[in-house]
Amino acid sequence: MSTPDLVIVGSGFFGLTLAERCATELDLRVLVLERRYHLGGNAYSEKDPETGIEVHKYGTHLFHTSNERVWEYVNRFTDFTAYQHRVFGKYQGQVYSLPMNLGLINQFFGRAFTPDEARALIAEQSSEIATEDATNLEEKAISLIGRPLYEAFIKGYTAKQWQTDPTELSPDIITRLPVRYTFDNRYFNDTHEGLPVDGYTAWLERMADHPNIEVRLDTDFFDVADEYKGTVPIVYTGPVDEYFDHREGRLSWRTVDLEAETLDVDDYQGTGVVNANDQDVPWTRVLEFKHLHPERTHLPGKTIVVHEYSRFAEDDDEPYYPTNTAEDRAKLLKYRELAKKEPLVLFGGRLGTYKYLDMHMAIGSALSMFDNKLKPYFSDGAAWA
């Protein structure tokens, strides 16, 4: 491509949604720069050649949304299966159905509570501490769900996620801990849910499949920035602190280590995700991808299992979840000020805004950026940003 009309840094859902909209609706020539060897950002998946199982390279990705505009948009590129996500949690040799619901409460306390009885029990157990008096995450959780459920289902898991004892964590990390007084154990409450019928990568490739879009893989924006900065409009979806050379300090992230293995069993755990709630079990979750697609035929007698470990990200690790401490928020404000002043560059996506975004949120926010910033600039001659 000779000089593009727009450069997009990053080919995740945010970047590809904007590329697709600008190419299709505004007929712009869009160059997407991607430093990984593949497109798609963290939603990328690949089929294991031996077993045919679709492996989500950066952890399980479940699509769900209640945003009708996003649902209509994504259905232009893929059909969805009827998959409904459910998560189970292991604690002291038993398997419970999450999120916390009447089934879990009955099993945990060895009783057959009615919804009202269970509600009364949790109200009584959580009265130990008033929520407004909580000074750390442990106290806050106890004030919301009581000590027994906290110790079984929150304490160990949270300590592993944050590598920190919950008594040392800020109460602000949790706002609510929903308990359902029904047997409903669907993980998501959204109107629409499912997995792309022929996989995430086929979906992502269809979004980029336009004669006006070039996706240049293995290309780090910072190696070619001089060619475009200040002359071609840029949407940057990489880490905002990296763009500014970390001059206000690094924003902190949690990352996950994913240890995958192929096992000679047909079915390892009977479901896609099992949390490890015991603190002395080092991983946080076990993923078994074949259960995400019960409608597919896989090689019998084999499965792929991933043990997921959570930790703070070091400089070269993949940034996954913003840690979002008070210090991070102060740095972010400074980066936002710098971002506003950067000529011809918009910042977006989860890394560019330092916000955890589900896929539907990344797509929704890209559609808004298209409506509110790019379309007015390119078609109506409005000022940039």
Q: Please give the full DSSP string across 241-270, using - where no structure is assigned.
A: HHHTTTTT-PPPEEEEEEEEEEESSS-SSS
Shorter beta-carbon distance to ligand FAD: residue 7 or 141: 7
Task: Establish whether 358 is a catalytic residue.
Answer: yes
Length of the chain, in residues: 385
317 binds ligand FAD (CB under 6 A): no
Q: How far apart are CA 343 and CA 341, in angstroms?
A: 6
Taking the complex as a whole, the smallest distance from the CB of residue 99 to ligand FAD amounts, in Å, to 14
275 binds ligand FAD (CB under 6 A): no
Nearest to 238 by CA among 384, 346, 364: 346
Which tokens in the block code for residue 202? 């086929």
Task: Establish whether 308 is a catalytic residue.
Answer: yes
15 binds ligand FAD (CB under 6 A): yes
Which one of 83, 180, 228, 350 is the catalytic residue? 180
14 binds ligand FAD (CB under 6 A): yes
| Choice from 96, 153, 200, 221 touching ligand FAD (CB under 6 A) | 221
357 binds ligand FAD (CB under 6 A): yes
Q: In this structure, which long-range contacts are made by residues 80-84, counting pairs with CB atoms below 8 Å and at least 24 apart in sequence?
A: 80/192, 80/193, 80/194, 80/195, 80/196, 80/197, 81/194, 81/195, 81/196, 81/197, 81/293, 81/295, 82/194, 83/193, 83/194, 83/195, 83/292, 83/293, 83/294, 84/186, 84/187, 84/188, 84/193
200 binds ligand FAD (CB under 6 A): no
Shorter beta-carbon distance to ligand FAD: residue 13 or 378: 13
Which one of 308, 335, 350, 354 is the catalytic residue? 308
199 binds ligand FAD (CB under 6 A): no
The dihedrals phi and psi of 319, each to the nearest 5 degrees, come to -80, 120
Which one of 133, 259, 327, 356 is the catalytic residue? 356
Q: How many residues bind ligand FAD (CB under 6 A)?
A: 35
Nearest to 355 by CA among 323, 314, 333: 323
Shorter beta-carbon distance to ligand FAD: residue 122 or 359: 359
291 binds ligand FAD (CB under 6 A): no
The dihedrals phi and psi of 53, each to the nearest 5 degrees, come to -80, 135
Site for ligand FAD in 226-265 (CB under 6 A): 237-238, 256
How many Å from the N-terminal Cα to the C-terminal Cα in the chain?
25
Which tokens in the block code for residue 110? 């060895």
Shorter beta-carbon distance to ligand FAD: residue 119 or 186: 186
212 binds ligand FAD (CB under 6 A): no
Segment near ligand FAD (CB under 6 A); pick from 68-76, 179-187, 198-206, 345-353: 345-353
Residue type, 212: N
Segment near ligand FAD (CB under 6 A); pick from 136-144, 161-169, 325-333, 350-358: 350-358
Taking the complex as a whole, the smallest distance from the CB of residue 118 to ligand FAD amounts, in Å, to 29
Task: Establish whether 356 is a catalytic residue.
Answer: yes
Taking the complex as a whole, the smallest distance from the CB of residue 100 to ligand FAD amounts, in Å, to 19
DSSP class of residue 279? T
Which tokens in the block code for residue 360? 């539907």
Nearest to 17 by CA among 357, 294, 380, 288: 357
Which tokens in the block code for residue 40? 């798609």
| Choice from 29, 58, 187, 325 touching ligand FAD (CB under 6 A) | 58
Nearest to 204 by CA among 48, 56, 40: 40
Site for ligand FAD in 158-187 (CB under 6 A): none
11 binds ligand FAD (CB under 6 A): yes
Segment near ligand FAD (CB under 6 A); pick from 57-65, 72-80, 227-235, 295-303: 57-65
320 binds ligand FAD (CB under 6 A): yes
Task: Establish whether 21 is a catalytic residue.
Answer: no
Task: Establish whether 285 is a catalytic residue.
Answer: yes
Taking the complex as a whole, the smallest distance from the CB of residue 10 to ligand FAD amounts, in Å, to 3
Cα four-point dihedral sign 334, 336, 341, 343: positive
Residues that bind ligand FAD (CB under 6 A): 9-15, 33-36, 41-43, 58-63, 220-222, 237-238, 256, 320, 349-351, 357-360, 362
- Please list the active-site residues: 176, 180, 254, 285, 308, 356, 358
